[in-house]
């Protein structure tokens, strides 16, 4: 299945793109997507505590992805 990945902030810097499409196995979860991202992009592993939103809703790792989903990689934000 194909899903679209959007990168924001430092995650965009790590990926080198703003958006890409990934081909994943049917039944892949958000946690599985995290593993794929860690393999594809240096630094995008547990050292970068980022959130994933699927179809504009924050997601948990056991959520199953489906064809056409749009996942956003949301790195931590600091402010004052």
How does pLDDT run across 30-74, given as a tens digit for each residue?
A: 999 999 999 999 888 777 789 999 999 999 999 999 999 999 999
pTM of the full structure = 0.90
Q: What are the angstrom distances between the C-alpha of 4 and each of 18, 19, 33, 67?
A: 11, 7, 11, 9
Asked, for residue 79, whether it belongs to a domain, the answer is: no
The total of structural domains in the chain comes to: 1
Q: Does residue 80 sit within a domain? A: no
Whether 37 maps to a domain, the answer reads yes
In the chain the beta strands, taken as DSSP E runs, fall at 2-7, 19-23, 51-54, 57-58, 70-74
| Residue 13 included in any domain | yes
- How confident is the model over 14-42, as pLDDT tens digits? 899 999 999 999 999 999 999 999 999 98
Domain region containing 14: 2-74
**What is the domain-level CATH number for residue 66?**
3.10.20.30
**44 falls within a domain:** yes
């Amino acid at each position: 299945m194909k899903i679209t990945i959007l990168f924001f902030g430092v995650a965009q810097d790590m990926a080198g793109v703003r958006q890409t499409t990934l081909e994943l196995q049917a039944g892949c979860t958000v946690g599985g997507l995290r593993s794929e991202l860690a393999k594809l992009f240096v630094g995008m592993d547990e050292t970068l505590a980022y959130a994933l939103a699927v179809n504009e809703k924050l997601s948990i790792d056991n959520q199953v992805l489906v064809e056409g989903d749009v996942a956003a990689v949301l790195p931590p934000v600091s402010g004052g």
